[in-house]
Amino acid sequence: MNLAIRDVEYRFGTFVLTAFGVGLLLATVMAMGGIYRGIVEDGLSLVRAPRADLWVVQKDTNGPFAESSRIPDDLYKVIRAVPGVREASPVSFQSLQFEYASKLIRVQIVGYRPGNLGAPPAVAGGRPIVASRYEMVIDRKAGIPIGAQLPSGRIIFTVVGLTEGIVSSSGDPAAYISLQDAQELQFLKASEAVRNERARLQADLKANPMLAGVPAESLSEILQNTNLANAILVKLDAGAVPEEVTRRIEQWNHYRAMTTADQEALLAKTVIEKPRQQLLLFRIILMAVSTVIIALIIYTMTMEKTRDIATLKIIGAPNTKIGGLILQESLALGLLGYGFGAVLINLTYQYFPRRVAIMAFDQYVLLGIVVVICVLASFIGIRRALNVDATIAMGGGA
């Protein structure tokens, strides 16, 4: 006769409600795990999307995701000539905010040369960019449909396609536009700023006797250079040695070449690491809280059965029977709670504002942890049960 099953059946409603409470707690743990994974996946999705072998960036910088990196966009022509390079193309990255349907939508702009490296790996709806100006492919997460018109500065973009699951490390959806549009957005100054800069330049020229006669208008065109990119993406020939290509590119002194793996590692270390550690710490705290709560529930369940345990001792039930009752109930509570949590998170994860990546491996690990927690928690209850004085079942009197 299994006492744990009979006890659970007897107080089924209470037990299920308690397990549901544990399930909510475990769902939060699963969500935190999913967000933790999601941050890593999101953070790396932009790096992985172009499937480049190398990223050429400004020397002494860590690339476009970690630091500011500015290089001439025509550098790709020179890099293309390096032995082992099959393809090279400039890209730019910047954060931008659009207003759409009275909502402000923050996106991660990716500027690239249509038809070249840097394009989204797949278009889930619509078509890729084919025109050199004013077209945009945006991630579904932005909630903007194909055909939408998005004004930004002097440009009005038309959404022609949608991607799936490409976001920045901060969770903003990616928006792909042509490099020319991106350069205009990133580097072209507003008319007022140009006028102010020109006036300041004119004042500086006047102050210099050698340049006093030079009109500022003739220099400002040169100074307002928008032909910049944040990185050059490189695809290598099959059989090319990345280290060798990197060495050749870095010989030009002012550029640094990083493999995609380097870029991922750097991104993980610099941009993602802190939120990752924060979430990891939060997960650990949540697990500790779960352990305490499950232990308290088991302890309370044991306390409620003190008299019954005393009776069991008097009628001769061995400690294994009494301990088994508590251990099995503890495991049943944890596993049912885990089940509730898993169902809950699987039904709701897609509604979270940031990506919640529920991985089977993480779920199995959590299941293992829950089992361990339940066993540990049951020890407190079992200890309490084994210390129950059997005489309390007989009441007072002498």
Chain residues binding another protein by CB under 8 A are: 1, 3, 6-7, 9-11, 307-308, 311-318, 321, 390-391, 393-395, 397-398
Q: How do beta strands 174-178 and 85-100 pair?
A: unpaired
Q: Take residue 155 and report the two structure tokens written for it.
A: 């440009």
As a whole number of angstroms, the distance between CA 253 and CA 91 comes to: 20
- Measured in whole angstroms, the distance separating CA 338 from the mean position of its chain's CA atoms is 24
Quick one: 52 or 326, whose CB is closer to another protein? 326
Quick one: 224 or 311, whose CB is closer to another protein? 311
User: Of 76, 107, 114, 77, whose CA–CA distance to 93 is shortest?
Assistant: 107
As a whole number of angstroms, the distance between CA 287 and CA 305 comes to: 27
Find the shortest distance in angstroms from Cβ 293 to another protein.
Answer: 23
CA distances, 165 to each of 31, 43, 140, 359 (Å): 18, 11, 8, 16
As a whole number of angstroms, the distance between CA 115 and CA 251 comes to: 29
Quick one: 313 or 355, whose CB is closer to another protein? 313
Alpha helix ranges (H) inside the chain: 3-10, 12-48, 75-79, 179-187, 191-207, 216-223, 242-250, 260-267, 273-304, 306-314, 319-348, 360-386
Find the shortest distance in angstroms from Cβ 268 to another protein.
Answer: 52
Find the shortest distance in angstroms from Cβ 387 to another protein.
Answer: 15
Find the shortest distance in angstroms from Cβ 373 to another protein.
Answer: 25
Cβ atoms of 59 and 253 closer than 8 Å: yes
Find the shortest distance in angstroms from Cβ 317 to another protein.
Answer: 6
Quick one: 3 or 366, whose CB is closer to another protein? 3
Quick one: 211 or 314, whose CB is closer to another protein? 314
Cβ atoms of 175 and 97 closer than 8 Å: no
Quick one: 37 or 305, whose CB is closer to another protein? 305
Quick one: 278 or 391, whose CB is closer to another protein? 391
Find the shortest distance in angstroms from Cβ 303 to another protein.
Answer: 15
Find the shortest distance in angstroms from Cβ 309 to another protein.
Answer: 10
As a whole number of angstroms, the distance between CA 93 and CA 183 comes to: 10
